[in-house]
Amino acid sequence: MHAIQLVAPSLSGLRRTVLADPQPGPGEVLVRLRAAALNYIDLAVATERFPGARFPMIPVSDGAGEVVALGPDVEDVEDVRVGMRVVPHFMPDWHSGPLEQRRVRRMRGITLPGSLAEYVAVPAASVVPLPAHLDFAQGATLPVAATTAWNAVRSAQVRPGSVVVLLGTGGVSLFALQFAKASGATVILASSSEEKLERGRRLGADHLVDYVARPDWDAAVMDITSGRGADLVVESVGGATFARSITAAAVGGTVFTVGFVGGAHAQVDVLAIMSKALRIVGNNTGSVADLREAVRAIAAHRIEPVIDRRFGFDEADDAYAVLAEGRTHVGKLAIVHERG
Ligand SMILES: NC(=O)c1ccc[n+]([C@@H]2O[C@H](COP(=O)([O-])OP(=O)(O)OC[C@H]3O[C@@H](n4cnc5c(N)ncnc54)[C@H](OP(=O)(O)O)[C@@H]3O)[C@@H](O)[C@H]2O)c1
């Protein structure tokens, strides 16, 4: 099969190659991949900021395709069939329930083959059918970002009247925006340009804050909410914003902690965490069941993932370069296979 390998942890380490086709083992299905989509974690793997990968490896955690073969016994144990359009989950051993270390050791695009290949063999229990209204590139955007955003909105029990603060217009934020609006929440979106804020407004964001013009965006959140603050802050940035996220949260609010694009270390006001009885919730993507629920919500609300650009298979370097620039994309970057 055709594949792209990352031969070393470097943005110049992507190489097109030909490898033996994988075969589905017991409990597995063979998926012909049709598209992949980048996450920040793919950039972190390619720049040696996320451990676990052994090089050379097939990168990119997220993808979508169709089932072309079933491994032994699969028909008996799982509801998958040849020809089904599917999304293989990022963490294929975490089927449901709480996070346990043993369930997240194997990660596609890090410790397992990723999506820059024609075929991949994955556990049958880890694939989720693609909603009919999405194409393969849109489907490829779902496992990491949509699952995480869904878990954020669900963790804070977002409902009509809830106030949700989102930082930036990256993949996680825009899925969170779409899920929060589908749940009836008021959304405050902070981004670095008027143009991106306008994209957010068109997706339903109620209040827009330019965090470059207004670095004290937490104060802006307090102004907008008449001093009450946000029920949920999706903390997709990390060190650069964490302290302000705590300020922006309402009493009893949730700071859903997922991101490190703005660094992994922060100085925080622990008194504010205590006095407001905040829920600081860490999240590590989620289970197959979480992805399945997110996909059900996407199907029910006919949510369309926001794809900034679609690159060809031979343009994978360009897609990584855009992600590495930071802040030049809105939503997701997809890589479409030749047949996609
Ligand atoms: N732990 C988990 O479960 C989990 C799961 C998924 C992702 N993540 C992490 O979550 C983070 C975001 O992922 P992603 O895929 O959405 O990334 P992304 O698509 O690259 O988006 C990142 C966005 O962050 C915004 N940003 C950067 N600095 C900011 C600042 N100081 N204030 C406000 N916004 C800022 C920018 O938005 P603008 O361009 O609009 O300004 C940028 O586009 C990454 O660190 C990723 O690894 C974690």
- How is the chain split into domains, by residue range? 2-141+305-336, 146-282
CA atoms of 224 and 219, how far apart (whole Å): 9
Residue 77 pLDDT:
60
Length of the chain: 340
The CATH code belonging to domain 146-282 is 3.40.50.720
DSSP result, 218-234: HHHHHHHTTT--EEEEE
CA atoms of 246 and 253, how far apart (whole Å): 9
Q: What is the pLDDT of residues 25-47, one digit of tens each?
A: 999 999 999 999 999 999 999 99
By CB atoms closer than 10 A (0-12, 13-18, 19+), residue 33 is buried
Residue 308 CA to ligand 1 center (angstroms) comes to 14
- The model's confidence at residue 251, banded by pLDDT at 50, 70 and 90, is very high
| 60 close to 8: Cβ distance less than 8 angstroms | no
- The model's confidence at residue 79, banded by pLDDT at 50, 70 and 90, is confident
- Provide the residue type at 42 as one letter: D
Residue 290 CA to ligand 1 center (angstroms) comes to 20
Residue 78 pLDDT:
61
Distance of alpha carbon 199 from the chain centroid: 19
Pocket test residue of 47, 99, 237, 330 for ligand 1, highest count of atoms within 8 A of CB: 237
The CATH architecture of the domain made up of 2-141+305-336 is Alpha-Beta Complex (3.90)
Distant-in-sequence, close-in-space partners of 49: CB < 8 Å, separation ≥ 6 = none
In ligand 1, which atom is closest to the CA atom of 238?
Answer: 45
Kindly state the greatest CA–CA separation across the chain: 61
In ligand 1, which atom is closest to the CA atom of 197?
Answer: 40
Q: Name every protein residue with a CB atom under 6 angstroms from any ligand 1 atom.
A: 39-41, 144-145, 148, 167-173, 190-192, 196, 211, 236-237, 240-241, 258-262, 283-285, 327
User: Is it the case that residue 263 has pLDDT exceeding 90?
Assistant: yes
pTM for the whole structure: 0.97
User: Is it the case that residue 340 has pLDDT exceeding 60?
Assistant: no
Question: Which residue's CA is the nearest one to ligand 1's atom 19?
Answer: 170
| 333 close to 319: Cβ distance less than 8 angstroms | yes
| 156 close to 254: Cβ distance less than 8 angstroms | yes
